[in-house]
């Protein structure tokens, strides 16, 4: 057993040495080599095809790794959204369901990529190493054939030292080497073109599977994202209507002015005068001769107390026209009273509750002609207001606001209006007593 193993090793070493010598002589041009241009062309195509398959396999493996990384990131993102999306918000349960649907789509997509695209690609690519071994073996057998051919030729070239036994043995070795080489060569002449032609069908099948999986995944996932967008849009609409905001104090804010917290100073005149005359274009003249009385906006007075108040006012106030006009102007600066306000027809005084009147019946006297569709009337800001919530409207003195209806009538609060500011088209709620109708 040991002798046969040693003999086998010696024979292998001798073959390698003979092939190395033959290649060296061929490279030096001392001996010729068998040429096969058709096989060389097949070999070039095979090498190019193998390089393409190796690159495709490498890039697709990297693509699947990236897809799986995105899948993990998507699951983590949706898990975090489910945690922060509060249970009382609209669509909470739907958000969880759609997140599960999205996760299932990712799993199905990666499964198709691995089983229906990557596995066939690996099978296709596995042909090339085996074929490469066969090509290399054919090259070795070609060297053996050329070597035996050259050896047999050298035995025949010297007739004086010709040994028939050696010639006969050389001929047998030559025929055996030729038979082995031609068998491998013939097989490769059939297999290499067939393998090269198979690239088209493989690519078509593989890419169709890949693109179909991509198309199904993105189509179905787009539907899920559309549902998620609808859920968030509904949440946004309900948030704008104040469904998830803390209820603000419904007490109307007071305009910020030096006398905002004090009693209103209004213009009064004797009972025998017509009350409506104090509001028309002759109001400045009436103010010149009228005494002024400081009254509380929530006070209720009868005719006798009003008369006494007027008498005391006449005794304490300067009767000059200049002094009489000053309080009237102060009232006009504090708040412009719209035409059509409600007043009591007392004998000596006018009882005006300005905040209540402007908050509940503010449209009285407003012009409704030539307004854009959906606009009830227009108002002008008499005081600056800074919003205290996201659904409110900020404005400066003098800005014009178009009053519109509430989107949800149930959200309307007493004393507050819904409007759109001209120029910026900002929309929101605002206190009525900060404006006057136009």
Query: Which range of residues forms the domain containing residue 412?
Result: 362-437
| CA–CA gap between residue 259 and residue 281 (Å, rounded) | 26
Residue 369 and residue 316 in one domain: no
Q: Is the pLDDT of residue 333 over 50?
A: no
pLDDT greater than 60 at residue 225: yes
Residues 177 and 294 in one domain: no
Whole-prediction pTM? 0.50
List phi, psi (to 5°) of 246: -65, 135
Is the pLDDT higher at 2 or at 335? 2
Angle, vertex CA 152, rays to CA 146 and CA 155, nearest 5: 145
Same domain, 96 and 201: yes
If one counts every other C-beta atom within 10 angstroms of the C-beta of residue 272, the result is 7
Has residue 85 been placed in a domain? yes
* Total count of domains within the chain: 3
pLDDT digits (tens, 9 = 90+) for 235-255: 999 888 887 776 555 555 656
Domain with residue 370: its CATH number is 2.30.30.40
- Identify the band that residue 169 occupies on the pLDDT scale cut at 50, 70 and 90: confident
Q: Within a domain: residue 357? A: no
**Residue 32 and residue 135 in one domain:** yes
Residue 212: the pLDDT is 96
Task: Examine the domain organization and report whether 71 and 194 are in the same domain.
Answer: yes
Per 3-state DSSP, the chain is made up of helix, strand and coil in percentages (nearest 5) of 60, 10, 30
List pLDDT tens digits, range 240-295. 888 777 655 555 565 654 444 433 434 444 444 444 444 444 444 433 433 333 33
Judgement on whether residues 376 and 319 belong to the same structural domain of the protein: no
CATH label of the domain that carries residue 230 = 1.20.1270.60
Q: Under a CB-based contact definition with an 8 Å cutoff, are residues 56 and 202 in contact? A: no
**Are residues 219 and 280 located together in one domain of the fold?**
no
What's the pLDDT tens digit per position in 290-315?
A: 333 333 433 344 444 443 444 444 34
On average, the pLDDT of the chain sits at: 76
* Contact yes or no for 248/388 (Cβ under 8 A): yes
Q: Is residue 108 part of a domain?
A: yes
* Residue 170: predicted pLDDT: 82
| 130-143 residue pLDDT tens | 999 999 999 998 88
Do 76 and 103 sit in the same domain of this protein?
yes
């Amino acid at each position: 057993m040991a002798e046969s193993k040693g003999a086998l090793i010696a024979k292998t070493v001798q073959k390698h040495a003979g092939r190395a010598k033959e290649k060296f002589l061929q490279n030096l041009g001392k001996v010729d080599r068998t040429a096969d241009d058709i096989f060389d062309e097949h070999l070039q195509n095979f090498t190019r095809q193998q390089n393409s398959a190796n690159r495709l396999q490498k890039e697709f493996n990297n693509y699947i790794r990236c897809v799986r990384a995105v899948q993990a990131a998507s699951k983590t993102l949706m898990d975090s959204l489910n945690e922060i999306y509060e249970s009382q918000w609209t669509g909470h349960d739907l958000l969880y369901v759609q997140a599960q649907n999205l996760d299932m789509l990712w799993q199905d997509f990666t499964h198709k990529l691995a089983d229906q695209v990557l596995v066939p690609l690996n099978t296709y690519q596995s042909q090339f190493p085996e074929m490469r071994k066969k090509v290399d073996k054919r090259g070795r057998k070609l060297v053996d054939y050329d070597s035996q051919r050259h050896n047999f030729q050298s035995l025949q070239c010297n007739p004086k030292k010709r040994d028939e036994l050696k010639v006969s043995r050389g001929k047998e070795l030559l025929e055996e080497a030729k038979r082995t080489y031609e068998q491998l060569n013939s097989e490769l002449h059939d297999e290499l073109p067939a393998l090269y032609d198979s690239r088209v069908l493989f690519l078509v099948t593989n890419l169709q599977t890949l693109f179909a999986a991509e198309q199904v995944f993105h189509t179905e996932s787009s539907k899920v994202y559309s549902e998620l967008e609808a859920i968030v849009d509904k949440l946004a609409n309900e948030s704008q209507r104040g469904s998830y905001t803390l209820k603000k104090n419904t007490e109307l804010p007071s305009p910020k002015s030096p006398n905002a917290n004090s009693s209103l100073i209004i213009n009064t005149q004797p009972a025998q005068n017509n009350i409506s005359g104090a509001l028309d274009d002759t109001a400045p003249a009436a103010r010149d001769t009228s005494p002024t009385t400081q009254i509380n906006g929530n006070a209720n007075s009868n005719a006798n107390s009003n008369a006494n108040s007027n008498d005391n006012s006449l005794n304490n106030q300067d009767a000059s026209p200049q002094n009489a006009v000053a309080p009237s102007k102060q009232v006009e600066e504090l708040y412009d009273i719209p035409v059509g306000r409600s007043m009591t027809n007392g004998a000596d005084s006018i009882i005006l509750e300005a905040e209540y009147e402007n908050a509940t019946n503010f449209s009285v006297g407003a012009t409704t002609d030539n307004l854009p569709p959906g606009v009830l009337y227009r108002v002008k800001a008499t005081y600056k207001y800074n919003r205290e919530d996201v659904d409110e409207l900020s404005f400066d003195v003098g800005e014009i606001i178009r009053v519109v209806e509430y989107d949800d009538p149930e959200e309307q609060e007493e004393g507050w209006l819904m409007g759109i500011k001209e120029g910026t088209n900002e929309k929101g709620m605002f206190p009525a007593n900060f404006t006057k109708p136009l």
